[in-house]
């Protein structure tokens, strides 16, 4: 038994009032937290801007952004003030009643998305669940219930979410899946058309696949899906949980992908899931429904205890005010271009390790070569996970995607000097590998 285990056992049941008066944080996790995450060996105690600090005071540059959540970085003063201000007024109120922040936030999301209405929840998984129910309600009278999604997609960790997700690894051990989901190749319109059946009611895609490796939908694919859905009376649903909220340089990813594309002016999905950066780190999710279907889910058909609380909505409104007031959409494009150019330079300099770099705005992916001997020495750990650990040790936080891609999903206000620092830390680690 290790010293850590002895300490954890010796203090079992005791209260830990401070870092020095009880078991270590890792021991607490080992004994009391369900081990659903392969956590990296660091304990963070505070954050400031695009940096996090561990229990020893070491500083790390955060280019993972809490997996595309921390739109304004850590401890942004405007968010702190909004939390304090609203907490003094009203934290929670049942959705049996009206509160001003929820109505205001719904209006702001509708203005930036399109004519329709919004339902508030707490996470991206819940937002997608709402879209699944919307689709079922839409097709119920005709007996249609099937939703087509894509391979390498990711739509949450609920039972319906993993059933919708086009990755076998998230399904293992939880079979049988929720019926009504089938998968087709991404960016392949013909595959969608071939897969249609009398039971099909909707198509659900991500504008940019995040967990799948930062794969960007083509304009022709988006426009073709809209035509196909119109022709077959299907709902076109988009999961913008990770790729939305200005991450690509526009509010929602399709708005960036279709910029300047002929015939794209009238493009609009029928339902959109949002979360992650919407609250800048405070939990909130939402789904938007196009006006033609906005009243399908009536009283009693869907609900949530904590969705759209005054506190969550007030913080989200403040995040939106800062993002737009400081021009962070344009900033995300500019810094994203700097980062992407730097990543492409690294690909050219380390061809034995890196295969490609891609993405839009501040949603970027770095693809590893299929075989990287220096990243394959740890059993049970993918090359992307191994590189992520090495970068952590060098003071840089990134997010793995699958087995061979690392993602950069930093704060929308990441500075140019911070972006260059991140590239330098990447270079230093890759030099050890290459």
Classify 327 in phi/psi space as left (phi over 0), alpha (psi -120 to 50) or beta: left
Query: Residue 265's Cα: distance from chain center in Å?
Result: 26
Return the SS3 of 24. Answer: coil
Extract the tokens encoding 96. 């049996």
Question: What does the chain come to in residues?
Answer: 434
Q: Cβ contacts of residue 134 below 8 Å, gap of 6+?
A: 235, 237, 271, 287, 289, 293, 296, 297
Which residue, among 252, 233, 218, has the nearest Cα to 116 in the 3D structure?
252
CA atoms within 13 A on the CB side of 131: 39
- What backbone phi and psi angles, to 5 degrees, belong to 432? -65, -30
Catalytic (active site) residue 239: yes
Q: Is 276 a catalytic residue?
A: yes
Query: In angstroms, rounded to a whole number, what is the distance separating the alpha carbons of residues 122 and 282?
Result: 9
Q: ∠ at Cα 288 (284, 293), nearest 5°? A: 145
> What distance in Å separates the CA atoms of residue 246 and residue 248, rounded to the nearest whole number?
5
Catalytic residue among 154, 246, 267, 287: 154
Token pair of 5 as six digits: 């285990």
Q: Of 239, 246, 251, 282, which residue is the catalytic one? A: 239
Catalytic residue among 138, 145, 270, 276: 276
**Do the beta carbons of residue 166 and residue 204 sit within 8 Å?**
no
The two structure tokens encoding residue 300 = 């009693």
Respond yes or no: is residue 137 known to be catalytic.
no
136 exposure class (CB count in 10 Å sphere: 0-12, 13-18, 19+): middle
3-class DSSP assignment, residue 355:
strand
CA distances from 89 to 92, 292, 388 (A): 10, 36, 42
* CB atoms closer than 10 angstroms to residue 258: 19
Nearest Cα to Cα of residue 252 among 235, 281, 234, 277: 277
Q: Which of 294, 208, 323 is nearest to 255 (CA)?
A: 208
In SS3 terms, 416-428 reads as HHHHHHHHHHHHH
Virtual torsion, Cα 331, 337, 339, 342, nearest 10 deg: -150
**Catalytic center residues:** 154, 239, 276
């Amino acid at each position: 038994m290790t010293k850590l285990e002895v300490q954890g056992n010796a203090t079992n049941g005791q209260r830990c009032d401070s870092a020095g008066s009880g078991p270590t944080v890792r021991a607490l996790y080992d004994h009391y937290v369900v081990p659903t995450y392969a956590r990296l060996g660091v304990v963070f105690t505070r954050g400031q801007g695009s940096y996090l600090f561990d229990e020893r005071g070491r500083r790390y540059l955060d280019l993972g952004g809490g997996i595309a959540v921390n739109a304004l970085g850590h401890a942004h003063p405007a968010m702190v003030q909004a939390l304090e201000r609203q907490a003094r007024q009203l934290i929670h109120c049942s959705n049996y009643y009206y509160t001003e922040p929820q109505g205001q936030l719904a209006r702001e999301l509708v203005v930036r998305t399109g004519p329709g209405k919004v339902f508030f929840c707490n996470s991206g998984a819940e937002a997608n669940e709402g879209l699944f129910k919307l689709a079922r309600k839409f097709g119920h009278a005709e007996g249609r219930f099937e939703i087509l999604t894509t391979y390498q997609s990711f739509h949450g960790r609920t039972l319906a979410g993993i059933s919708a997700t086009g990755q076998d690894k998230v399904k293992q051990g939880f079979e049988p899946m929720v019926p009504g989901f089938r998968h087709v190749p991404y960016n392949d319109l013909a595959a969608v058309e071939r897969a249609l059946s009398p039971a099909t009611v909707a198509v659900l895609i991500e504008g940019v696949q995040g967990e799948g490796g930062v794969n960007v939908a083509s304009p022709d694919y988006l426009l073709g899906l809209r035509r196909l859905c119109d022709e077959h009376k299907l709902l076109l649903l988009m999961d913008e949980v990770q790729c939305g909220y200005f991450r690509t340089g526009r509010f929602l990813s399709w708005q960036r992908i279709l910029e300047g594309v002929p015939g794209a002016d009238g493009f609009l999905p029928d339902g959109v899931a949002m979360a992650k950066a919407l609250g800048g780190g405070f939990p909130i999710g939402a789904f938007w429904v196009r006006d033609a279907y906005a009243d399908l889910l009536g009283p009693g058909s869907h609900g949530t205890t904590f969705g759209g609380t005054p506190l969550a909505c007030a913080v989200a409104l403040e995040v939106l005010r800062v993002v737009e007031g400081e021009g962070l959409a344009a900033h995300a494009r500019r810094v994203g271009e700097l980062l992407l150019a730097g990543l492409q330079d690294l690909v050219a300099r380390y061809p034995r390790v890196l295969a490609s770099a891609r993405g839009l705005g501040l949603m970027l992916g770095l693809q590893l070569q299929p075989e990287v001997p220096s990243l394959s020495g740890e059993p049970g750990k993918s090359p992307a996970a191994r590189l992520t650990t090495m970068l952590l040790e060098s003071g840089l936080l990134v997010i793995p995607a699958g087995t061979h891609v690392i993602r950069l999903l930093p704060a929308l206000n990441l500075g140019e000097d911070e972006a260059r620092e991140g590239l330098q830390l990447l270079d230093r680690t890759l030099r050890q590998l290459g």
